[in-house]
Amino acid sequence: MVHIARNWIGGYDTATCPCCPQLFVRPLENPTVTSFSESAATALQLITAMDAGLLAIVGRSLAVSASACAMACALGLVLGAWLGVARFAGRGAVLTLLNTFLAVPSVVVGLVIYLLLSRTGPLGYLGWLFSFKAMVLAQAVLVLPIVTALTCQAVEDAQSLHGEQLQSLGARPLTRSLLLAWDERYALLTVLIASFGRAVSEVGAVMIVGGNIDGFTRVMTTAIALETSKGDLPLALGLGLILLGVVLLLNGVVALLRRWRERLESDAGSHAPGTAPVAARAADALTPGACA
């Protein structure tokens, strides 16, 4: 009997059948797989000890996702705001396409970017494949529809409320869209966080275009996938906990920022109509596919 690989699943091995080439799973005689609690304890040790390898992966992961979000937001906020205000033939089709891209699988994005950046692809001359830049590009493409569609939704709602008044004052569509986007800035802040969350948590696109190269393109999600398949649960779990912590921290910061701004704006007066629904409208704006 030939062992193909060791698998972590509850102390089982995969093995080939002695009489046929078929793979099967069998229990290990002396399972070495650690339990969840042991893995979690080791993971916490890695985190508290500020393990250099762990920190490098976390730092790279945050840098890739932050760069991708910055790129996507620079384009998506303006484009989404404009789409929320502009009226042109074919707008419905553009929005339908945009909403379709909200659900595009990250592996498909990874595959398309891979084909574009591969040596024979149209962008092959850049030499970006299996690099930091390729991962940023893939994640930016992945979150661009999210930023654009949600911004479009928020601005379109604001346009239906205040659009005619701004038009009456003389604001042209682009000016109107930017003013309305500014007016909906709290909702859009939530959009930024949602897009960062999507970027930092995806695995398919960065795995394909980054190649998960240790020390170069290994990020949290690809490392979790690899370590899990290797059976190194503590590192995988440690990275998972950090990933959760990062998203939790970001949400906390945004909530604090919003509360601080609202308190600053409210002065000593009571809340008048128009202030309270901000959070509700932000939540509405985050309904995927709602911009129609």
Partner 1 sequence: MNGFDPGCAAPALRPVFELSGASVHFGRAASPVRALSEVTLSVARGERVALVGSNGCGKSTLLRLLHKLAAPSAGQITVDPALRQAMLFQKPHLLRLTVQANIALGLWLRGTPWGQAKALALSALARVGLSELAQRNARQLSGGQQQRVAMARAWALQPQVLLLDEPTASLDPHAKREVEALIDEFASGTHAMTLVFASHNLGQVKRLASRVIYLEQGRVLADLPVQDFFGGPLLQQQYPAAHLFVKGELV
Q: Residues 15, 1: contact at Cβ < 8 Å? A: yes
Based on the shown chain and the rule CB under 8 A, indicate whether residue 91 belongs to the binding site for partner 1: no
Per-residue burial over 157-195, b if 16 or more Cβ lie within 10 Å, else e, is bbbeeebeebeeeebebeebbbbbbebbebbbbbbbbbb
Distance CA 83, CA 159 (A): 11
Least separation in angstroms between residue 274's CB and partner 1 is 4
Least separation in angstroms between residue 84's CB and partner 1 is 15
Question: Which one among 41, 51, 123, 183 touches partner 1, defined by CB under 8 A?
Answer: 183
Question: Which one among 266, 280, 283, 292 touches partner 1, defined by CB under 8 A?
Answer: 266
- What part of residues 133-172 is at the interface with partner 1 (CB under 8 A)? 161-162, 164-171
Q: Residues 51, 250: contact at Cβ < 8 Å? A: no
Question: Which one among 179, 181, 242, 243 touches partner 1, defined by CB under 8 A?
Answer: 179
Based on the shown chain and the rule CB under 8 A, indicate whether residue 89 belongs to the binding site for partner 1: no
Least separation in angstroms between residue 162's CB and partner 1 is 5
Based on the shown chain and the rule CB under 8 A, indicate whether residue 272 belongs to the binding site for partner 1: yes
Task: Select from 53-61, 100-108, 211-219, 261-269 the region that touches partner 1 (CB under 8 A).
Answer: 261-269
Q: Which residues pair with 26 in a beta bridge?
A: 13
Q: Where are the beta strands (DSSP E) in 29-107?
A: none
118 or 175: whose CB is closer to partner 1?
175
Least separation in angstroms between residue 268's CB and partner 1 is 10
Least separation in angstroms between residue 272's CB and partner 1 is 5
Unique residue bearing structure tokens 């912590």: 245
Instruction: Give the number of residues in contact with partner 1, rule: CB under 8 A.
Output: 24
Q: How many residues does the chain have?
A: 292
Q: Residues 13, 6: contact at Cβ < 8 Å? A: yes
Distance CA 87, CA 128 (A): 38
Binding site for partner 1 (CB under 8 A): 161-162, 164-171, 175, 179, 182-183, 185, 265-267, 269, 271-275
